[in-house]
Structure 1
Amino acid sequence: MYLSIDEIADRARSFVYDWQDYEGKEIAEAQTFWNDLFMVYGRHRLKLASFEASIKKMTGSSGRIDVFWPGQLLVEQKAPHVTLDDTVMQQAVGYVEVLPEAEKPKFVVLCNFHQFKLLERASGEITEFSLADFAKHYYQAFMFIAGYSEFITYQEEEISLQAAELLAKLYTAIEDGDNQPSLELNFFMVQLLYCFFADHTSLFTDSKSARPFQHYLEKHSNPDGRDLHNHIREIFEVLNTPKEERDARLPDDLKSFPYVNGDLFADTSYRLYSNATIRERLLEVANFNWADISPAIFGTLFQTITDPKTRQIRGEHYTSETNILKAINPLFLDDLEQEYELCKENLADLTQFIEKLASITVLDPACGSGNFLVVAYRELRELELKALKHLHKDKRERHMIQEAMHAQIKVNVHQFYGIEIEALPSKIAQLALWLTDHQMNMQVVSTFGFNYTRLPLTASATIWNKNALTCDWNELINAKKLNYIVGNPPFYGARKQTKEQRTEMKRLFREVKGASQLDYVACWYQKSVEMMQLNDKIKGALVSTNSITQGAQVFPLWHRLMREENLHIHFAHRTFKWFNEAKDKAQIHCVVIGFARFPIEKKRLWDYDIITNKEGERVEQVSERKSALAINPYLVFDDEMIIVQELKTPLDPTSPKMAFGSMPNDGGHLLFSAEEKQAFLTLEPKAEPFFRRVMGSDEFLNSKERYCLWLLDANPLELAKMPHVMARVNAVREYRLNSKREATRKLADTAHLFGEIRQPSAKYIIIPSVSSEHRVYSPMGYLDKNTIMTNSAFSLENVTPYLFGVLSSRMHQVWLASVGGRMKSDYRYSVGLVYNTFPFPSKPTPAQQAKVAGLAQQMLEVRNKYLSQGATLANLYDKSKFYLYQDLVKVHRELDKAVERCYRKEPFDASLSNMDRITFLLSQYKLYTDTLFHPADDNEKPIN
């Protein structure tokens, strides 16, 4: 009879514990070691393999194979600390070569008690792992010993996807069986999930069966499935009843289930109408190996199965552990790790450290299905386990360790709190923490070799099913007892908020000018600060859309928090792409911000750049910087907390004013493609003088040819003689009259004109209003006055080559990327927030201006060369292709240096990130604003 996977896993952990400190000689204990290893899989080595099997070498001399199982396994065993190098492998393979073909083993293993090296002869693949990791590799490496002919290793994501598919099939079968989707059904699924997990992780340890839940239903329920609900309900009731209160007449296989408590099975009111298909699907799910599923993904699994529109994992509801750790590591785990290293050799300090871990409290005020709480709890338990292992490092008697351990394992789920507006995720969060607790208890078993469980459940996380923005957090958890606030609140932008959400924001930001532009996530910063006002030792870290650190949102959110609430940013992950580990990976641009109402000495910033490697692939490069300087809302080091405020005119009044382009507001009736223009002129040749080339962001960047009817100076008598032109004008008139906006309806009186006309009267430059984040620079260019510019771009008249060079430089690009807003992830140019606030060099010399102007002209010439060959600006400046145009790269690099020398004596290092540049530009901005509010004499006035 085969052992179950769970039994083998338990034995593997005990095997590691028994042998982890062995330092003896090879001959003394090698046979015992391999006898024990075979027993992990429930097999007697004597019945399968011989020890010290004699063999005749190819040289004619005799040799001995340490462990030999003909056709299956050959082991070369060495003493501890002997290196398992190629020489040892050659020795083992040499034995294989002289064996008869029928006895040649499938696997060759080298071992020195602490390391394994396994060769699968058919594939030539070699797997190496330590004894400490044996419990992780037992399944992949040696399952053939147990008698399983086939075994498969899954990656975590593949396992999760399989689990999701199985649950989806079960849920669909339940729906198809006249069971209406409901919250009660979803809670019932939560209860089932606990049983699936418990069945595969030894939680039901009292049972004589390997998988008591699955086997009970297989044994007692009828194949037609009609009585399935009754048997499930019987199990739930038993799980919710203390053993001493159970009916003595219960059958033994029901009595053997443990008492769970925790109210998880208190509600057995749901009625499942079952059939053969539901029973088959449920048993299929029960048979799946749930031991390898992280509780952190349970929320995704349930989102998968309960969404009636889809049966696949949806990314927006699952936060990857990588991204969770970006918040919780610098918030508290890094400091705790350092503290452990400092105190671990002092028994009293180490004991006090363990007590400290048990006193930490964490709140996730937008907890969803508990991902952040699960990972944070797991990490605290692992740190506690590491400390306990060190505390007992000199003790070998298992019973002594066991007695002490039960009192010393103190970190528990009751230290974790969450607020969640939806009922189902709040239940899943509590369940996920219980199951994580059990996983950590299994690690205790693996580390110390004795059974340790926490059943019945006497502690639980506190998850409130409430709206976090309308309840008082301090009434839920006393702020004086709280240490950390962490989480990933909703990302709704200002325009995507519901009426209720906008009402919540107005209540929280009543007196804040510009608050209507804030993302919904800003509310959680405000609520967190309210808790910090009651306890200024609380620290927080929130994942947020990067838009709260850019553009128009910065001033209304951060000016007050930093100036009035004394908020300090302790660390931040600057903009990065938010990927999760689900099948359809959501991609959002996020930041992580750690904050508190007190300063710290060393602040930390992580910067994420997309670079092109040698293979031409775009990869993410991460760099960390530490500084005693403060971190400002743009997430750069800056002690003066400069926040850029939108201006109606440029900082320097001598700078030309920027304007929007002309808005057609024509329903498309005055606009033409090149082909449409030619077809129109075939019908109306007299209209040719009235056509103008039209240019917006898309046309400029992608070299698209478009035209418009520009009838500003047209004689009405001439227009009346062109029926096809008049048909277009009348169509515009009809379009405007049908508008819901009164202002648009008034424009019907001038239907032959663009709705708003702001056409420059001289040569001008065009600045796209939106440009891709994937471009090295946001390109600008000159247009003649006869090219009509639309409102998707901005214009500047009377622009000198010097000014054009500065605007085309890296310094201006950095300002745009840092201070400007975003359209999705793309750069969004703004007159008031980007151009008017940009601190141009204050005192460039004539020679410096001439240098910049000359390089700007060279850049245009190189650029035009490629444009004439069919390239587009969008392609030329794409980060993945820009390096191909070396002459363009070179002139831009020289232009950047020339512009930077207008600001300072030496240019910035081109290889450095943009953080130094934006810090410098903010200081220049402050000099300008100081000059505006404290005017200097004419000799000191900044000039353009």
Structure 2
Amino acid sequence: MNLSTEEIEQRVQAFIYEWKDYDGKEIAESQTFWNELFNVFGKQRKTLVSYEESIKKMTGNKGRIDVFWPGELLAEQKGPGVKLDETVMQQALGYVEMLPDSEKPKKIVLCNFQEFKIIALASGEVKEFRLEEFGKYYREFLFIAGYSDYITYQEEEISLQAAELLAKLYTSIEKGDNKPSLELNYFMVRLLYCFFADHTELFSQSTIVHPFHNYLEKYSNSDGRDLHSHIRDIFEVLNTPKEQRDARLNDDLKSFPYVNGELFSDTSYRLYGNKEIRDTLLEVAKFNWSEISPAIFGTLFQSITNPRTREIRGEHYTSETNILKALKPLFLHRLEAEYETIKDNRRELEHFIEKLSSITVLDPACGSGNFLVVAYRELRQLELNALQYLHKDKKERHLLRESIHAEIKVNVNQFYGIEIEQLPSKIAQLALWLTDHQMNMQASSTFGFNYTRLPLTASATIYNDNALTLDWNAVIPASELNYIVGNPPFLGYANKDSSLEGKELLALQKKDKALVFANWKNVGTLDYVACWYKKSVDMMKLNPKITCALVSTNSITQGVQVFPLWYPLITEYGLHIHFAHRTFKWFNEAKGKAQVHCVVIGFGLFEVETKHLWDYELGKDEKDQPTEIVTERRSSLKINPYLVFDNEMIMVKQRSSPLDPSMPNMFLGSIARDGTSEKDATGKKKVDQGFFFTAEEKEAFLAKEPEAKKYFRQVLGADEFLNAKERYCLWLADANPVELAKLPEVVKRVNRVEQFRLASKRASTRKLADRSRYFGEIRQPTTDYLLIPRVSSEHRVYSPIGYVNKDVIITDSAISLEHATPYIFGVLSSRMHQVWLANVAGRMKSDFRYSNTLVYNTFPFPHEPTAKAQEKVEKLALQMLAIRQSYLEQGVTLAQLYNKESFRLYSDLVKVHRELDKAVEACYRKESFDEETNMERISFLFSQYQHYTDTLFAGN
């Protein structure tokens, strides 16, 4: 029979304690080490694994595999202190190559007694951890105990199970005459504490295993009608010091500890129980809650709250992976490096521990406390590492037992939060207490004796208030604050929600923005998250040593939002960006994962010597690792608001005409304003009412009125252009009204357009009713033109553009460029322009949003390229058009041609595009650009933009 995970956990802690100070030789104890590791999972090593297995290398020499379990595991064991580097990795992989397929392992383990590196050969995933972290990573070895891959208890799967159980309990309570309310949610918070405590030794003073579950099972009636009184009794006991408890309490109740912290002070909620509620509650209580990280408690409660409300508010619960993208470069990396530098100096190590206990962190949009929980856990882990090193001499351990409460200094009262919703603010405080207990358990296993902090005497300061109307300096004085970090709401300025609640929230947020950005100009386009940047900088003005890292939508680093937000922050406040994660796909622990594209920006009011950027390849898997780009120490390079290195803090501002005056102007397509996009009461589009027709609708119309044929024109917008869709319109701008009057079907359409315009709430649209045979806004080119889609997918290698006949009507989902030479077409089709688009344009979700004023008019075309260079671009551009046309004639659409997944299949098109890219780049400069990254290209283009603007200003 397999060991339970609880038994394994106990053995894991004993294993850690036994081996944490081992500093001997590899050969002497490696086999004992692995024997005991297998025993942790209830298996005898000799029945599964061989040591020093002989194998013949490709060189002909013989090697020996340290630990070998055919088909499952191959381990390379090194001595203490030996680095588990690429050499060790290649040694293990070399052995794998020599094995027959039937014996190739699923996992490789590299180990030096104190460190582990696990490689899953199927996925290539690598996990690294230290021995003292084995309690967090033992699941990677559960296959030894006989658990299948399906039930290896990955954190996400466990979290999902817990969330579903919690939702099941909430649903059963709702069905049992218990109305949803804030009081019910608080009741659920208290239950969650009990579930967690029941499985993590918080109730360890009890002589019963899982006392909460067993008490309710033992004392409550099977029909569940008395469930409330028993839960109330437990809550009251948890809130009462032992010396003040009623002496008549039964022994099971007396055994519960005193918790304090006011968590159980309110027992007024009345639960109407029944059999289903009781059965579900016992099922949930029996679940192993010790596997759940308090950092995802918010996600658990997300499963029982209204998802629509969550979407409106812009709340997205953050995964630990994303939290650490902010915390590590903000302060954890620096503290870890400091620890490694000073750990052998006892006095400095003591000062380091004091320093950890003085760090303060504010999350001004803390939600359920995810950021605070992870930050607290990491500081406690650093403190634990330092204390362990400080007391590495076992002779001093008995002294630590006496002083442990004084020596463990990092506490939850170093953490501050602001949260507008009541329930998440309660969860945040609870999550920090439970994290504290988890870290106390880790300290207990590390030092070999029990350490707890019950009753609770310290707590985080969580304000239930609107962070944008609250003075942060009143939450924690700026003079006492070190770091601001968090994940503010993601609601965009263009977000529209027609519900009453949505309108009320938008009105509130508009009011908040007006308050935060009082006296600022052009802030109407800013996303709501921008308010937290301004408020953070306000705190920094009071204490310039404060630094901040915020997770945000990438929209504040793109498009029209850049200039109004960042220009004043940089020029007036003196803000410097210290590090950033460029656009990446959001993922979290929730079942319905939020599909958002984010950035992480770390900043302060002082410059730093070295700056870091992490760049992600768009369109890749959301969990792909980024490329880190670092400036040299004391480099003059800065990170600008587009999250790009450049020498100047360049911000691109919209222009009404091109930077290069020799370039033609670009215009939006025509807008019909004919009601075609209107929907009926069921949400379906209304038909037969405006100027537009599908191919089938056109034929049906002409069957009734064939004389109208000469008034039909083909229509192209972004969708039709990219996906080769047929669409037509009635174009009556040049029609003779006398002739039109003889066409009743056409007149019907004109009348419907008139009625639509007259019914509009917009005065400008109503004015158009007098001209109802015309499009509302006509911007049709008079010559053949280039068509540029206004929105193009991030999943395309290039954003396709193309030449269109002047008789084809262009709609406002596209932009036209007349008098575009093949040279201009070639430049706009190149990688250089694509890079500019990707960094400067706004986004619609993750797709590029092309703008004539912000992308084309600001684009720095090559400055005075030679005639020969231009000719080469023209030649390749025409060649590319010809190749592309051949595929279009075979039924392949532009969207399919340029999709990143299929582009490589069209090798001739790929080849000509690559040549065109190089030809365009040669128009800019002689030196070639880095092929692997676009960072050099965008930095160069920013410098060219600066050159153009300097020239323009000088000319003025």
Q: 2:857 aligns with which of 820, 836, 839?
A: 836
Q: Is the 8 A contact 1:140 1:152 kept in 2?
A: no
Q: Is the 8 A contact 1:611 1:619 kept in 2?
A: no
Q: Does 1:927 align with 2:935?
A: no
Q: Which amino acid aligns with 2:669?
A: G
Q: Which moved more, 1:813-822 or 1:666-675?
A: 666-675
Q: Does 1:697 align with 2:697?
A: no
In the alignment, the residues of structure 2 paired with residue 665 and residue 789 of structure 1 have an alpha-carbon distance, to the nearest angstrom, of 14
Match of 1:914 in 2: 934
Q: Does 1:728 align with 2:732?
A: no
Q: Is the 8 A contact 1:77 1:110 kept in 2?
A: no
In the alignment, the residues of structure 2 paired with residue 719 and residue 74 of structure 1 have an alpha-carbon distance, to the nearest angstrom, of 89
Match of 2:88 in 1: none
Q: Is the 8 A contact 1:837 1:925 kept in 2?
A: yes
Could you say if the C-alpha distance between residues 39 and 407 of structure 1 is closer, same or farther in structure 2, counting changes exceeding 3 Å? Answer: farther
Q: Which moved more, 1:548-557 or 1:823-832?
A: 823-832
In the alignment, the residues of structure 1 paired with residue 150 and residue 868 of structure 2 have an alpha-carbon distance, to the nearest angstrom, of 75
Deviation, structure 1 residue 758: 1.3
Could you say if the C-alpha distance between residues 663 and 610 of structure 1 is closer, same or farther in structure 2, counting changes exceeding 3 Å? Answer: closer
Q: How does 1:661-740 map to 2 (within 5 A)?
A: 661-668=669-676, 669-740=690-761
Q: Which amino acid aligns with 1:430?
A: Q
Q: Is the 8 A contact 1:208 1:256 kept in 2?
A: yes
Q: How does 1:18-37 map to 2 (within 5 A)?
A: 18-21=18-21
Match of 2:513 in 1: 505
Match of 1:942 in 2: none
Q: Does 1:622 align with 2:606?
A: no
Q: Does 1:602 align with 2:606?
A: no
Match of 2:60 in 1: none
SS at match of 1:609: coil
Deviation, structure 1 residue 740: 1.8
Q: 1:592 aligns with which of 600, 605, 621?
A: 600
In the alignment, the residues of structure 1 paired with residue 165 and residue 370 of structure 2 have an alpha-carbon distance, to the nearest angstrom, of 22
SS at match of 1:516: coil
Q: How does 1:726-765 map to 2 (within 5 A)?
A: 726-765=747-786
In the alignment, the residues of structure 2 paired with residue 401 and residue 606 of structure 1 have an alpha-carbon distance, to the nearest angstrom, of 42
Q: Does 1:582 align with 2:581?
A: no
Q: Does 1:528 align with 2:536?
A: yes
Cα deviation, 1:578-626, whole Å, max 9, x if unaligned, reads: 11132222121111000000001111111101478xxxx9984521111
Deviation, structure 1 residue 12: 4.1
Count of matched residue positions in the alignment of Structure 1 and Structure 2: 880
Q: Is the 8 A contact 1:74 1:108 kept in 2?
A: no
Q: TM-score, normalised by structure 1?
A: 0.87
Q: How does 1:6-405 map to 2 (within 5 A)?
A: 6=6, 9-10=9-10, 12-21=12-21, 132=131, 135=135, 153-307=152-306, 317-396=316-395, 398-405=397-404
In the alignment, the residues of structure 1 paired with residue 955 and residue 38 of structure 2 have an alpha-carbon distance, to the nearest angstrom, of 86
Deviation, structure 1 residue 291: 0.5
Q: Is the 8 A contact 1:570 1:600 kept in 2?
A: yes
Q: Which amino acid aligns with 2:868?
A: A
Could you say if the C-alpha distance between residues 206 and 358 of structure 1 is closer, same or farther in structure 2, counting changes exceeding 3 Å? Answer: same
Could you say if the C-alpha distance between residues 22 and 484 of structure 1 is closer, same or farther in structure 2, counting changes exceeding 3 Å? Answer: closer
Deviation, structure 1 residue 683: 1.9
Q: Which moved more, 1:7-16 or 1:244-253?
A: 7-16
Q: Which amino acid aligns with 1:393?
A: K
Could you say if the C-alpha distance between residues 780 and 140 of structure 1 is closer, same or farther in structure 2, counting changes exceeding 3 Å? Answer: closer
Could you say if the C-alpha distance between residues 831 and 23 of structure 1 is closer, same or farther in structure 2, counting changes exceeding 3 Å? Answer: closer
In the alignment, the residues of structure 2 paired with residue 110 and residue 805 of structure 1 have an alpha-carbon distance, to the nearest angstrom, of 55
Match of 1:941 in 2: none
Could you say if the C-alpha distance between residues 387 and 770 of structure 1 is closer, same or farther in structure 2, counting changes exceeding 3 Å? Answer: same
Deviation, structure 1 residue 505: 0.4
Match of 1:53 in 2: none
Q: Does 1:846 align with 2:850?
A: no
Deviation, structure 1 residue 689: 1.7
Deviation, structure 1 residue 310: 11
Match of 2:566 in 1: 558
Q: What runs of 5+ residues in structure 1 fail to find an aligned partner?
A: 44-48, 50-65, 79-84, 94-105, 937-944
Cα deviation, 1:304-336, whole Å, max 9, x if unaligned, reads: 123388999x99532111111110000000100
In the alignment, the residues of structure 1 paired with residue 849 and residue 619 of structure 2 have an alpha-carbon distance, to the nearest angstrom, of 22
Q: What runs of 5+ residues in structure 2 fail to find an aligned partner?
A: 53-62, 81-91, 93-101, 114-130, 496-504, 677-689
Could you say if the C-alpha distance between residues 24 and 885 of structure 1 is closer, same or farther in structure 2, counting changes exceeding 3 Å? Answer: closer
Q: Which moved more, 1:487-496 or 1:537-546?
A: 487-496
Deviation, structure 1 residue 509: 1.4
Deviation, structure 1 residue 650: 1.7
Cα deviation, 1:735-765, whole Å, max 9, x if unaligned, reads: 2222222222222222222111111111111
Q: Does 1:873 align with 2:872?
A: no
Q: Which amino acid aligns with 2:639?
A: I
In the alignment, the residues of structure 2 paired with residue 150 and residue 875 of structure 1 have an alpha-carbon distance, to the nearest angstrom, of 38
In the alignment, the residues of structure 1 paired with residue 346 and residue 186 of structure 2 have an alpha-carbon distance, to the nearest angstrom, of 46
Match of 1:519 in 2: 527
Q: Which moved more, 1:822-831 or 1:675-684?
A: 675-684
Match of 1:634 in 2: 642
Match of 2:85 in 1: none
SS at match of 2:776: coil
Q: Is the 8 A contact 1:398 1:450 kept in 2?
A: no
Cα deviation, 1:135-161, whole Å, max 9, x if unaligned, reads: 56878979999x999995311111111
Deviation, structure 1 residue 4: 8.5
Q: Is the 8 A contact 1:681 1:687 kept in 2?
A: yes
Identity of aligned residues (%): 66
Q: Which moved more, 1:419-428 or 1:449-458?
A: 449-458
Deviation, structure 1 residue 189: 0.8
Could you say if the C-alpha distance between residues 326 and 144 of structure 1 is closer, same or farther in structure 2, counting changes exceeding 3 Å? Answer: closer
Q: Is the 8 A contact 1:764 1:798 kept in 2?
A: yes
Could you say if the C-alpha distance between residues 3 and 233 of structure 1 is closer, same or farther in structure 2, counting changes exceeding 3 Å? Answer: farther
Off by >3 Å, runs of 4+ in structure 1 = 1-12, 18-41, 73-78, 85-90, 106-114, 121-145, 147-153, 306-312, 314-317, 617-621
Q: Is the 8 A contact 1:67 1:75 kept in 2?
A: yes
Q: Is the 8 A contact 1:75 1:111 kept in 2?
A: no
